[in-house]
Amino acid sequence: MDELMAGDTLDEAAVGRLLVEVAADDDLVGPLVAGLPVETPGGTWLLRPERGPRLLLFHRTEGTMSYTHSHSCLVAVAPVRGVETHQRWEAVRHDDGRADLHLAEELHLHRHEVVTMVPPRDIHSHGHLPGTGDSPYSLILLGDDQFVYEREEYDLEAGTWRRLPPGDRGRVDR
């Protein structure tokens, strides 16, 4: 991963392929999935340096989606089990806190599939929608510690946005 992310040009497809390979490694991720509770959302860090690429195994429960947000760094998501719903949004932010949001892409990711995003095309929500399959256990790769960056969070129902200063984790689930 360090080699793929070094240099001036990021090969998103190569990063995605590597993440899918890790997600398919049952010897590595199988015991970790078994250790996460089925009835509650949560995750475990597999790689978490102070700076640089970080890897998280995360489980969202039935019908639970994240708030729509940005990361301000590379993010990639690959399911290990279940179906991960990925929604990428286009947003026009207004100074008064209103946001015009347009769903640009909705994917229902299965094992061996991946989505990668880089700023400014990293406004998204992800998790599980009822009726799409089993709730997901997914690997989430971040290019860096997202909490050192200013990010945005969007409320789809209210049509609003707010700036998240460095360190603000925002809301987790909608």
Q: Where are the alpha helices (DSSP H) in the chain?
A: 2-5, 12-23, 26-34
Mean pLDDT for each 10-residue chunk of the chain (174 residues)? 72 92 96 90 93 94 95 96 97 97 98 96 96 96 95 96 96 82
Instruction: Write out the H or E segment, with its range, that includes residue 88.
Output: strand 84-93
Ranges of each domain in the chain:
2-143+153-164
Measured torsion, CA atoms of residues 172, 87, 152, 137, in degrees rounded to the nearest 10 = 30
What fold characterizes domain 2-143+153-164? Jelly Rolls (2.60.120)
What pTM, to 2 d.p., does this model score?
Answer: 0.93
Q: Are 172 and 67 in contact (CB under 8 A)?
A: yes
DSSP state of 65: B
